[in-house]
């Protein structure tokens, strides 16, 4: 049977789309080549934004088709398939608050933490992941920075977390795209903004705000300037079993 992907952007409809790859991987793992599906993909997360849009699409496909096709594959088997598709696909199978090791596929569920108020700023350009990673080597420190201090700060909320945020891909991304560094500096000086972090390899910038009202005010201010921005909050609950 056929696997059909319907997507608004024709450039995303090729066989390399993670949605199709996830569907094919699941069908092969189940040994059920006769299974088919028509999948409609509505993209809200911008491509090249560093927000894991493609990876979350793949994870949703694995979970959705596992249910639709009544395969009954356990979470651990889906996680194995997810790790083969991409480093952060497994994270999106469960969601919530997790610590990633290895390539990002070795996951540890963390205790729930207070929600953080954020503003996502979407620049009018993307950052090709490969280009940013190729520029990373000169910026790597002799000693890696552990995430333990950040994890310990999470229960303290935004004020405690602000000083512990870091992303090793930020400097190479700013080097490749100087306009991104300018946006980061501008955002850092805005009222109510405690810290700014690059999401993944970019180009999305994440502003950690003092509270919900500050996040909404900042998003509104940016929108009035003609920028694409949205206020949101983190979630720490998991949507999948721990097993």
Question: What are the domain boundaries of the chain?
Answer: 3-109, 117-233
Q: What is the pLDDT of residues 33-57, one digit of tens each?
A: 999 999 999 988 887 788 999 999 9
Cis peptide before 114 (omega within 30 of 0): no
For residues 183-187, average pLDDT: 96
- CA-to-CA distance for 104 and 100, rounded, in angstroms? 5
Q: What is the pLDDT of residues 121-151, one digit of tens each?
A: 999 998 888 899 999 988 888 787 888 999 9
* Multiple choice CATH, 3-109, 3.40.50.2030, 3.30.230.10, 3.30.830.10, 3.40.50.620: 3.30.230.10
- State whether the Cα torsion 216-219-225-228 is positive or negative: negative
- CA-to-CA distance for 200 and 176, rounded, in angstroms? 14
Q: Is the pLDDT of residue 236 over 80?
A: no
Q: Is the pLDDT of residue 159 over 60?
A: yes
The verdict on pTM exceeding 0.85 is: yes
CB 96 within 8 Å of CB 235: yes
Calculate ∠ Cα 120-108-173, nearest 5°: 35
3-state secondary structure 68-107: HCCCCCCHHHHHHHHHHHCCCHHHHHHCCCEEEECCCCEE
The radius of gyration of the chain's CA atoms, rounded to the nearest angstrom, is 19
Q: Is the pLDDT of residue 241 over 50?
A: no
The CATH number of the structural domain formed by 117-233 is 3.30.70.890
DSSP state of 167: -
Q: What is the pLDDT of residue 242?
A: 44
């Amino acid at each position: 049977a056929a696997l059909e992907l319907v997507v608004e952007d024709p450039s995303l409809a090729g066989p390399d789309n993670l949605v199709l790859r996830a569907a094919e991987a699941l069908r092969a793992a189940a040994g059920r080549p006769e299974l088919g599906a028509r999948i409609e993909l509505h993209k809200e997360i911008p491509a090249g934004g560093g927000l894991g849009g493609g990876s979350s699409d793949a994870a949703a496909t694995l979970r959705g088709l596992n249910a639709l096709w009544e395969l009954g594959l356990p979470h651990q088997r889906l996680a194995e398939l997810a790790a083969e598709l991409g480093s952060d696909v497994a994270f999106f199978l469960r969601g919530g608050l997790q610590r990633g090791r290895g390539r990002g596929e070795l996951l540890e569920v963390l205790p729930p933490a207070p929600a953080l108020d954020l503003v996502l700023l979407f620049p009018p350009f993307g950052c090709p992941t490969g280009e940013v990673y190729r520029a990373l080597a000169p910026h790597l420190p002799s000693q890696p920075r552990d995430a333990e201090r950040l994890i310990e700060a999470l229960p303290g909320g935004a004020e405690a977390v602000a000083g512990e945020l870091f992303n090793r891909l930020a400097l190479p991304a700013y080097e490749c795209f100087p306009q991104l560094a300018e946006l980061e500096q501008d955002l850092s000086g805005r009222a109510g903004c405690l810290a700014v972090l690059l999401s993944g390899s970019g180009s999305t910038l994440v502003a950690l705000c003092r509270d919900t009202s500050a996040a909404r005010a900042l998003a509104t201010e940016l929108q009035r300037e003609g920028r694409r921005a949205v206020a949101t909050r983190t979630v720490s609950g998991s949507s999948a079993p721990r097993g």
